[in-house]
Each structure stands twice: as structure tokens, then as C-alpha cells.
Chains A and B, each alone.
Chain A
Amino acid sequence: NAGVTQTPKFRVLKTGQSMTLLCAQDMNHEYMYWYRQDPGMGLRLIHYSVGEGTTAKGEVPDGYNVSRLKKQNFLLGLESAAPSQTSVYFCASSYDGRLNTEAFFGQGTRLTVV
């Protein structure tokens, strides 16, 4: 039981390049989330999903896209990376967000855009 696994753990991109961050959970959770963490700004929600095949925008969705083709996977894409997207990205999942259950976080992906 690995919990929430993010790949890659580190990545350096050049401005304008694209990439996809992968999140996988093995807890059969319905809800999945992508956050970014910047110094002094806490955790800001980028996109989330309430079930397979669904996605919704969070607080800071611009410049990102997501897909949830399989229940266990939630992908975050950057179409054209910008230095402002340099951040630590966390994926999380929860059994049922409507019931306000615990969110389980991955280890994070440190992304640097140069």
C-alpha cells in the first residue's frame, strides 16, 4: 500500500516547454487534488476531481490542465511552462470530499522553470 505517489520528484524545465506530472493513489479514493506550495502562500488548489472522468478548477487553474481517465490516476499538465510556475506541487486524495475526510498527500514534485 503505497498511498499517493507522484512522479517525477524533481524536474527542471525551460520556459515554453511542456510536461505532465503524474499522481497515482492505491486507496480507491474518489477525490483527487493538485496543489502548489510557494513560500509564505500555503497550499493553493490548482484543479481537483470528484471522480473518474471529472475535473474542476481550483483557486489558481490558469496555465494548467488536468485529466482523470482512471480513478487511480490524476495528471497535471503544463502546456507552456513559465518561471511563475516554479513551485512545489503536491497531489492529494481523499475518500469522499463531501464528508470532509482526511486528505492524503504525496511527497511532492519540485519544479523549476528557467
Chain B
Amino acid sequence: QQQVKQSPQSLIVQKGGISIINCAYENTAFDYFPWYQQFPGKGPALLIAIRPDVSEKKEGRFTISFNKSAKQFSLHIMDSQPGDSATYFCAASRANAGKSTFGDGTTLTVKP
């Protein structure tokens, strides 16, 4: 049973456009939802994270939107740049679990 479902698998966006990646989860006990960014040949690195007590978090061009009732959260990249081309993973975890469950990843390509 996949606890975190991520879509789309791949995404192509023009420079300056908005990139949107969606994730859905099943376990209502999850209380921490990070997004990780991974460049080719590198390990994932934390991009932005949200907890369910807020519906949105923004850091620069990156925004997480969170819908607790729908059990969904999404990453929006505004003014997408070629340097944003990478694989993005959503994840979810719950307090005291000690581990996260990751989505399958989305490969984003931003064309110049």
C-alpha cells in the first residue's frame, strides 16, 4: 500500500512558467510534509516543508499548499528557471515514527 502518491511522474515547463507537483497521502497521523530536491548525481536536499496547522508556506519562488481535509499537498514553483530542473520528492512522516515515506518523484525539466 503506497502511503504517498505523487504526480505527475515527469513535467516539462517553459522558463517563466509555473510548475505544479501534487501529492496525496492516506495516513491522517502524518504531521510533517517536506519536499526534497535532487539534482543528477547528488543526494536529495530539503527544499521546503510544512506542518498541517497551516494551509500554505512560501519561501521565495517555492510554495507548499496543504489541504488537510482532502489529504493532499502540492509544490508550486513560480517563475520556473532552467536551474530548477531536477527531481522533486514529496514525503510525509508522523511524530515518533522516526522515518519518512517518500513519493515516487517528479522529474521537472524547465526549457529555456
Contacts of A108 in B (CB 8 A): 41-43
Interface of B (DSSP majority class): loop
Count of inter-chain pairs, beta carbons less than 8 A: 62
Knowing A97-B97, A99-B95, A102-B49, the reply to whether A41 touches B104 (Cβ < 8 A) is: yes
Docked Cα-Cα span, A56 to B96, in Å, equals 14
Nearest A residue to B34 via CB reads: A102
Chain B contributes a number of interface residues (CB within 8 A of A) equal to: 26
B49 near A90 with CB under 8 A, answer: no
Chain A contributes a number of interface residues (CB within 8 A of B) equal to: 27
B99 near A105 with CB under 8 A, answer: no
Task: State the B residues within 8 Å of A (CB).
Answer: 6, 9, 31-32, 34, 36, 41-46, 49, 89, 93-100, 102-105
Given A48-B99, A107-B43, 17 more A-B residue pairs with CB atoms under 8 Å apart are: A31-B98, A33-B99, A40-B9, A40-B105, A41-B104, A43-B44, A43-B105, A97-B99, A98-B97, A99-B95, A100-B94, A103-B46, A103-B100, A104-B45, A105-B36, A107-B42, A108-B43
